Structure 1
């Protein structure tokens, strides 16, 4: 039994969100259960009579469900309008497109800012720790509600790619094709280290208050901004930063011999941090980064990545970018080798781009051609 309603998030900066409230329970990897489960989502296009054209798009770490529609907080266009829309590889004229805000986030799905029905107050750090697999199980609950028995494809980049890879391991009969972009099958020590720097920046902010900052209306903005700044560096490439900023000064003729933003790159990072605080919740950042750090697709399959893919018959397309040092091409090759070892059909493409990890979100016509060809190949 489920009901559909508009759910208001606790932090009013994020406004009202259209969500599905499902009775649950959703059993989590931690052993905890979540009841009820709120899932905010967007859809585009129509499910065909055969129920065969559904495409699930999974968003990245701090993304959202507004993949091809205006973001209600920032007013910006959807984050993947380069790939989703009329005449694009993922086209609502051909596909029934679904994108859900992940569990643990702050754009309408259940997360630390949600109200705990047992107390009437926000969960904060009492929200259970979640995993990528838990996010996928929540998405499966949404698909059940929408009447989608099988996905023509699941598509995602970065953390979205982790979800895309997890889908056929958890629901091997429900996925016909998987498109995983700029991603990995497990977080490395370096990945975890960068996230820990960000988490510590948030928790060191006096306004964090152990996660109970909602009632004060004063979130740990400074800590969250620093966390975003540190993470944003990993999304770029050295060549891209050098080409865009070099050592150019910011609106001045000489160094100030102080600690203002003398360099353009400093000003850019500060802007990224400040703007991020306006659209994201600090506790959600803690939970979602922890979920990615826990991600290791082989862990539940005897340490064998090939075993993880043994039960699915899905086709796979794995895409990497040559300047991505967060999830480098070697990580994608490891996935492809495991797929081949499991006897799965897998296409692999490394694309050239100066933009680093974020390439999949930016102008990438070659990526669009690969997406389009792969999706049409399974039609």
Structure 2
């Protein structure tokens, strides 16, 4: 019944665009076996679309979000979303990803908490998955995205674009489904997670799991949230997303209070308040178990796993690929994008965007990135 309802909505969107920008849902698989052998399902996917799919369904662009993103790439705080679009200014009529020309699809990822099946979803037995939701990989996420594409009747994307965890999925699309894409843009990522990236992510996971309210991942049944652990994890992550120069320029050693009596050793620095603010914002909109499962998937990222290594795997790629790095990125340094560009036999170019923002530059430097994407598409 659900599948028939979603098919009706999607067909209307192809022809009229009336549902563009609104979250839609599709049951894409009745059951799914993960790369590590666990079976879950059914799998529902939340996604948003902009523009109109043409008659031969050849003008689709797939946009893939990062760790705590969702399907709401464009728009305001509406339609059940607590935050505005995370790539506003890049997608829309006349913009770099021009919705007058392209039908843009952005799905929420498997394991997420914004409508797609994840740890906070209800399992077939009527109980929330919680700790029972298995470890998943980037390949699992892409397999579900491929099922969504099949559901929408899209055999080949005109382009696939994504950064950070979204960039990991772009690479898996290119290697795992080499015929399914004409062009791709990969931002701020490498071909495999590094030891430092794994270490940073693992510390965040341990912060969440050490919260007394985590309850082994089954906090839902007790009506509590591991908010302290999730907030700390986000603060550590956010620190890695920004550059030292940007933090020094914005905050330096400035204290929260300018009062002389408040300038003692115990008064907080402005940068501390900044990190705490971002940590608390995430607690209000994101599920801790999803944060863990998606972080684990990023740690497992390696396009060369069981494919003869990175170089051998990347030889499968047939799409034209553009690689973009952010000059001040310390989480995914530009050397990783340089190595990726050199290893990709179909790489059309490496672009380094000059920015002092850090890793988050792939979200913030919309104008510079838009110029590159526009030229590619």
TM over 0.5: yes
1:95 aligned residue: 102
2:153 aligned residue: 147
1:3 aligned residue: 3
- 2:229 & 2:308 partners in 1: Cα distance? 38
What SS class does the counterpart of residue 361 from structure 1 fall into? Answer: helix
**1:4, 1:20 within 8 Å by CA — same for their partners in 2?**
no
Quick one: structure 1 residues 134 and 214, their matched pair in 2 at CA, closer, same or farther if it must change by over 3 Å?
Answer: same
2:318 corresponds, among 293, 296, 313, to 313
Offset of residue 101 of structure 1: 0.4
User: Does residue 1:179 correspond to 2:181, yes or no?
Assistant: no
Offset of residue 91 of structure 1: 1.6
* Cα deviation digits, residues 124-183 of structure 1 (max 9, x gap): 111111001111110011111111111001100111001011101111111111100111
- Which segments of structure 1 move beyond 3 Å, counting only runs of 4 or more? 71-76, 254-260
**TM-score when normalising by structure 1:** 0.91
2:123 corresponds, among 99, 103, 116, to 116
User: Does residue 1:207 correspond to 2:197, yes or no?
Assistant: no
* Cα deviation digits, residues 173-197 of structure 1 (max 9, x gap): 1111110011111111111111111
Q: How many positions carry a matched residue from both structures?
A: 360
Alignment of 1:207-356 (within 5 A): 207-254=213-260, 255-257=262-264, 259=266, 262-303=268-309, 305-340=310-345, 344-356=346-358
* Cα deviation digits, residues 250-281 of structure 1 (max 9, x gap): 12334554645x21101111111111100000
**2:49, 2:106 within 8 Å by CA — same for their partners in 1?**
yes
User: Does residue 1:359 correspond to 2:365, yes or no?
Assistant: no
Q: Which runs of 5+ in 2 are unaligned?
A: 7-21
- 2:222 & 2:329 partners in 1: Cα distance? 39
2:90 aligned residue: 83
**2:255, 2:263 within 8 Å by CA — same for their partners in 1?**
no
Offset of residue 75 of structure 1: 4.5
Offset of residue 3 of structure 1: 1.3
Q: Which runs of 5+ in 1 are unaligned?
A: 7-15
User: Does residue 1:169 correspond to 2:175, yes or no?
Assistant: yes
- 2:303 & 2:186 partners in 1: Cα distance? 14
**1:112, 1:124 within 8 Å by CA — same for their partners in 2?**
yes
Quick one: structure 1 residues 75 and 125, their matched pair in 2 at CA, closer, same or farther if it must change by over 3 Å?
Answer: closer
Offset of residue 333 of structure 1: 1.1
Offset of residue 302 of structure 1: 1.1
- Provide the alpha-carbon RMSD of the alignment: 1.8
* Cα deviation digits, residues 210-254 of structure 1 (max 9, x gap): 011112222100110000000000000000001111111112334
**1:318, 1:348 within 8 Å by CA — same for their partners in 2?**
yes
